[in-house]
Amino acid sequence: MKFEVTILGSSSATPIFNRNPTAQVLNINEKLYLVDCAEGTQQQMLRFDIKASRIDYIFISHLHGDHYLGLVGLLSSLHLNGRKKALKVFCPAPLKEIIDLQLKYSETTLHYPVEFVFTSDERPEVILDNQDIIVETIPLDHRIPTTGFLFKQKKRQRKLIKEKLEELEIPVPYYTALKKGRDYEAPDGTIYKNDTLTIDSNEPKTYAYCSDTLYTEKYFEQINSASLLYHESTFLNDMLDRALITHHTTALQAGEVALKTNATKLIIGHFSARYKTLNELLDEAQSVFPNTELAVEGKTFVISE
């Protein structure tokens, strides 16, 4: 099952040095999920050939403008382009009021339904459960209510050993039962154990998206052993005092999060506008957690295929 994330924006607060503020698109089994939607997100989707019409789920971490100010424009464009199918937006409750007000004063009535699912930063909650994934909120510690999101693949059915099935002439209609783990009883009464006819599917992968937050261990257990961890890294560690005041994380601290939670790979992003180049931030995170990469716009990170 395809499971990958494409970076659309990696700047904090403002667009600068050819970096847009935060937005990402997950492709999970050819379904698209938008995570945060800063200004310029539509242009970034056009730039990187991502079709907005394929997005059915949008997740907004919090209500600082660099994470949601592109949303009303995206909703309006989908309307103008003739969208009819429903869209789900997972977000803090006040966002609905903001969107409703903007649509009211532009005298716009969307031609498709938008369902708002409100998030809370009080405790982790399952907010989406479909045939491919389960999505949980990750309560974070920022200046306003903020959640990250944990995307967890569902366990797939067992894989058939086709050569073995053909050798035993097992009827095709029985394949579904085999995928579910059942044994096969041949017409002569012989029982063939499932593990001789199938192999287990790959272990489910996880993607942890940790938006703006002070360094805190309160969410470490929830994101433990993430296949891919995205963590904000607004400052270098020589700006730790500034990070504490603004409730952000340094690149060094992001590396420590990845190390302490046994992540397989770390992506750092949400870079302060004070940094024209990002090598120092990468070096700092890698000094703690070597398997770290920058959230470079347009880059796709494959979590599972």
Q: What is residue 157's predicted lDDT score, i.e. its pLDDT?
A: 74
Give catalytic residue positions.
66
Give the whole-angstrom CA distance, residue 8 versus residue 42: 9
Ramachandran sector of residue 97 (left: φ over 0; alpha: ψ -120 to 50; beta: rest): alpha
Q: What is residue 107's predicted lDDT score, i.e. its pLDDT?
A: 94
Q: How many other β-carbons are positioned within 10 Å of the β-carbon of residue 300? A: 11
Give the three-state DSSP class for 86: coil
Burial degree of 91 (CB within 10 A; 0-12, 13-18, 19+): buried
Q: What is residue 223's predicted lDDT score, i.e. its pLDDT?
A: 97
Bridge partners (DSSP) of residue 16 are 19
Q: What is the pLDDT of residues 258-294, one digit of tens each?
A: 999 999 999 999 999 999 999 999 999 999 999 999 9
**Choice among 73-87, 93-107, 109-123, 193-207 with the minimum mean pLDDT:** 193-207
Q: Is the separation of the CB atoms in 29 and 2 below 8 Å?
A: yes
Q: What is residue 258's predicted lDDT score, i.e. its pLDDT?
A: 98
Q: What angle do CA 134, 137, 139 make, to 5 degrees?
A: 155
Give the three-state DSSP class for 93: coil
Average pLDDT over residues 13-18: 84
Bridge partners (DSSP) of residue 192 are 184
Average of per-residue pLDDT values in the chain: 94
Query: Who's near 48: CB < 8 A, 6+ residues apart?
Result: 6, 8, 297, 298
- pTM of the predicted model as reported, rounded to 2 decimal places: 0.89
Give the whole-angstrom CA distance, residue 47 versus residue 123: 37
